[in-house]
Structure 1
Amino acid sequence: MPVDVGAASPLPYPGPGVAVRRVVGLMSGTSVDGIDAALLRIDGAGVRDLRWSLEAFESVPYAPERRARILAALSSGTPETLTRLHADLGEWFAEATLHLLGSAGVEPGAVSVVGSHGQTVWHRPPVDGRRGATLQLGDPATLAARTGIDVVSDFRSADVAAGGQGAPLVPWPDRMLFSVPEHGRVVLNVGGMANLTWLPPRGGEGRVVAFDTGPGNVLIDHAAALASGGTATFDDRGHGAAAGRVHPEVLDDLLRDPFFDRPPPRSTGREHFGPERVERLAERLGLGADDGSGWNDLLATLTEFTAVSIADAVARWLPGDVGDVLVAGGGAHNPVLVARLTAALAERGVGAPVRTGSDALGLDPDAREAAAFALLAWAHLERLPANLPEATGARGPRVLGSFTPAPVDGDAP
């Protein structure tokens, strides 16, 4: 349904109503594994006649030294290190954008806008009547200057300023991209954190439900790094978890976290489910550098924790007609996690098929969030509110993002 956003003031960027746009979306998530870059072609001047296609997608892994810098800034950043990282991330995002366009054979001048989520360094949801706060780094002026393309960034702040969680923001794009008329469905992203969107059947009366379920890969990834002495950054295809056994008492303790009893809207991040929790568990279990079987047991426990917390959220908070569960993000590549999620859903009476792969979403599942931020940037140019207050808790709809024009005579290629 078209949204009436009222009279628009003159703005220093191309206004709404352009029939065809190419838009780049950039995402660097809480797993800090790399930059996802998607090139979306969007046809139509509004939501009623929206048509889209994914023209190109790349995931650019962070070099070890870049990843180490980001993780250090997340845990103990200073004003100087955060400022330097802000500028450097702008450069890295520009590199990813230009590489994507070069691979696709698309000139930067053919792209309307880059939608850059940035790298979250801190996210505090509202609590006890106090508004939340969120901070994403990745200098949009540098990105615009290096690419010669206008940039929309800082998508979360407008929702937070309206009293919302600032997350999740993907439900509006999910509804545009993935809803179907036949049945409801869950779009589940298992990145560093896990979040889901329940989509009612297209054209139906139901409201979208979306929220963070809790940890995704972040705890598993850190346990894999500790177990390997830093040589691994994730549990490759769940091999470690498959070789271990779950600690029932540890799992029970993890599931007692008060976060899981908090009804939606809700969001979380590394500030709550972070590496320090894994280090405390390793100390509790007395794990040493050479205790391979013990680390596998911890990986099995954390994998079960992620699967069960997601399944509990689906069974407890969704209104029904799950239809199918479409898994995106890094967790889609972990068959042990997917199998445990499937079993945990069935144990809770949710018999929905769990699907991964491009056939599930109609695009590469790894591209889902980058494509979402491309669509959010398009919505900004169209002056369309793109948060869902029922999902974020904001006081009302908001046009998301801040616009940074490319310099006319800048240093773009």
Structure 2
Amino acid sequence: MYVGLMSGTSLDGIDAALVEFEGRKERPDRASLAGFHTEPYGPELTAALETAVAGRAGSQALCDLGFALGEAFAGSVHALLDEADIDPSEVTAIGSHGQTVWHRPPDGSRPGATLQIGESAVIAERTGIDVVADFRVRDVAAGGHGAPLTPLFDLLVLARPDRGLAIQNLGGMANVTGLPRKASGSVPIAFDTGPGVALIDEAARRLTAGARRFDLDGRLAAAGEVVPAALDEWLEDAFFEEQPPRSTGRERFGAGALAPWLERFSGERPEDLLATLTELTARTVSDAYRFLGFEPDEVLVCGGGARNPELLRRIQARLPGCPVRPLESAGWNGDAREAAAFALLARQHVLGIRSDLGWATGAATPRILGKMTPA
């Protein structure tokens, strides 16, 4: 039994998943979700995280934040195990993603770099459980983008041999895993499609003077109209034409890029600007499917954006004939997917299994990802 911890680019809190795996092969004989807990961040921690990901935190602040996150992650583990009535001694290891505060993919002129914080020693000390963390850095060191890593879970746990799937995560950033039918001759692929809900959430906060943290159910966007000139500015970004493997983050599609855009189009209604950003995500998601190499039979969505009906409506409108459904329709809790993926990565580390993610990240050869902190 393993615990996976995830805190994503949406900065909304910690997801903790308790996963039971059967078998010791690379592909588990069975994986089942034994518990799931979400712990929202408080206002103070949220503010510190926003400062850090914006690049405005000094070394002391980053150090303090890393330890504070370690305490928060450990607290989430205890809450998860208490709810599931599981003793810590029954858990083999914790896989902790940490919180990304900087991510730069390799661009040909310089190597990639990535930084996740959330002190694993604190988690191990507070829980008494071995912790595997820092998964992304080994992939980057091996020439990969370090992202996305969740597709390994999709391939080993969610793939269906008779069904071509596009598993679409709509977190702060959006990424897709393409899993073709086994007999199709196509190969799996995964990559970031671009912004998910990060720009939408940030715009909702700014345009409502902080009254809203996000566009609830996409209601504001649904009441607006797309501003073509404003949309075109985003679509001109060269990222959308890059061939996979590719990854991105708030460094490119975050508050720093959004603020001047909002200023340039300050004469437009807030509803119209949110409609434009929602259309941006829908369009870049659907357009990116040209890189999949196959036509999916269905799209399974997860992440915060999966709870935005207006965003899903726009994605479905651009994918006629291909049903867009929640991941729950395939029998898995969509909110738990990413945390469960890091439970799987912890399992692979403990069993000494090299994770082959070159098809998703571009890493040269399979690597054992993560660093172990013994309890």
Pick the TM interval, shorter chain.
Answer: over 0.9
Q: Deviations over 1:150-195 (max 9, x none)?
A: 0000000111001110111111111111111212101110100000
The equivalent position to 2:120 in structure 1, one of 135, 140, 156, is 140
Conserved 8 A contact 1:188-1:327: yes
CA RMSD of aligned residues (A): 1.3
Conserved 8 A contact 2:14-2:73: yes
Equivalence for 2:367: 398
Equivalence for 1:380: 349
Equivalence for 1:172: 152
Equivalence for 1:304: 279
TM-score, normalised with respect to structure 2: 0.97
Change (3 A) 1:247 1:141: same
Change (3 A) 1:49 1:364: closer
1:203 CA displacement: 6.9
The equivalent position to 2:2 in structure 1, one of 2, 23, 35, is 23
Conserved 8 A contact 2:69-2:117: yes
Equivalence for 1:343: 317
Equivalence for 1:128: 108
Q: Does 1:286 align with 2:260?
A: no
1:49 CA displacement: 5.2
Runs of 5+ unmatched residues, structure 1: 1-21, 288-292, 407-413
Conserved 8 A contact 1:169-1:387: no
Change (3 A) 1:376 1:202: farther
Q: Deviations over 1:242-275 (max 9, x none)?
A: 1111101111221111001110000000001111
Q: Residue type matched to 2:288 in 1?
A: A
Equivalence for 1:4: none
Change (3 A) 1:312 1:48: closer
- CA–CA distance in structure 2, aligned partners of residues 114 and 384 of structure 1: 16
- The equivalences for 1:5-404 within 5 A come to 22-48=1-27, 50-75=29-54, 76-202=56-182, 205-287=185-267, 294-314=269-289, 316-346=290-320, 351-360=321-330, 362-404=331-373
Range moving further from structure 2, 39-48 or 160-169: 39-48
- CA–CA distance in structure 1, aligned partners of residues 358 and 69 of structure 2: 30
1:277 CA displacement: 2.1
1:55 CA displacement: 0.6
Q: Deviations over 1:256-305 (max 9, x none)?
A: 11001110000000001111222112211225xxxxx7111110000000
Q: Residue type matched to 1:46 in 2?
A: K
Change (3 A) 1:169 1:387: farther
1:310 CA displacement: 0.4
Conserved 8 A contact 2:28-2:157: no
**Residues paired across the two proteins, number:** 374
- CA–CA distance in structure 1, aligned partners of residues 276 and 241 of structure 2: 20
SS at match of 2:318: helix
TM-score, normalised with respect to structure 1: 0.88
- CA–CA distance in structure 2, aligned partners of residues 29 and 49 of structure 1: 25
Conserved 8 A contact 2:286-2:319: yes
1:200 CA displacement: 2.0
Equivalence for 1:17: none
Equivalence for 1:19: none
Change (3 A) 1:72 1:395: same
SS at match of 2:269: helix
1:48 CA displacement: 4.9
Identity of aligned residues (%): 51
- CA–CA distance in structure 2, aligned partners of residues 203 and 246 of structure 1: 41
- CA–CA distance in structure 2, aligned partners of residues 50 and 158 of structure 1: 27
- CA–CA distance in structure 2, aligned partners of residues 263 and 90 of structure 1: 36
Q: Deviations over 1:19-54 (max 9, x none)?
A: xxx100000000000100000000111135521100
Conserved 8 A contact 2:5-2:73: yes
Change (3 A) 1:387 1:122: farther
1:358 CA displacement: 1.6
Range moving further from structure 2, 227-236 or 367-376: 227-236
- CA–CA distance in structure 1, aligned partners of residues 272 and 328 of structure 2: 32
Runs of 5+ unmatched residues, structure 2: none
Conserved 8 A contact 1:387-1:400: no
Conserved 8 A contact 2:186-2:294: no
- CA–CA distance in structure 1, aligned partners of residues 229 and 368 of structure 2: 46
- CA–CA distance in structure 1, aligned partners of residues 187 and 122 of structure 2: 39
